[in-house]
Amino acid sequence: MELKSRALGALAGLFAFAVISGVASAADRPYTEGTVSIVNSVRTKPGMYDTYMKYLATTYRQLMEEAKKAGHVVDYNVYSTSPRGPDDPNVYLVVTYKNMAALDGLSDRMDGIQQKIVGSPEQRDAAAIDRERMRTMVGSEMIRHVVFK
């Protein structure tokens, strides 16, 4: 019994040391983890740039503004660029969230907004097919803002 108590005490001490070390280590970092952004790279199809921009200026913008009002999104931006080659993007869509936890259950939280702006799931599917006629998704990445102390 005494051996068991000593082993449990040693284990508890080791755990406490690990927790304290982890806190001290995080406090020593010269930065904190900031917002998280999803960057989608898009290439518009020939002759479809203005049509895609119209979609972004209307439906996409409405979706993002509603998501901001609801607190699901911190900010969003659209960037145009000159592609270096035929497979490079010419548009970047950047959506910023408060943190990684904001992405948990995001689809479920966005359903009501999508229903309000785009319509039923069938209408959303049809709209997605229409967007594919305008552009090709080149890639997507998640980036995190590093805030220096």
What value does the mean pLDDT take over residues 62-70?
A: 98
* 21 within domain boundaries: no
Segment 114-125, tens digit of pLDDT: 999 999 999 999
Residues 6+ apart with CB under 8 A from 131: 52, 55
* 7 within domain boundaries: no
* 62 within domain boundaries: yes
* 17 within domain boundaries: no
Which pTM was predicted? 0.80
Segment 40-60, tens digit of pLDDT: 999 999 999 999 999 999 999
DSSP conformational letter for 45: P
For residues 146 and 33, the answer to whether their CB atoms sit within 8 Å is yes
* 12 within domain boundaries: no
77 has pLDDT over 70: yes
96: CATH: 3.30.70.100
Beta bridge partner(s), residue 146: 33
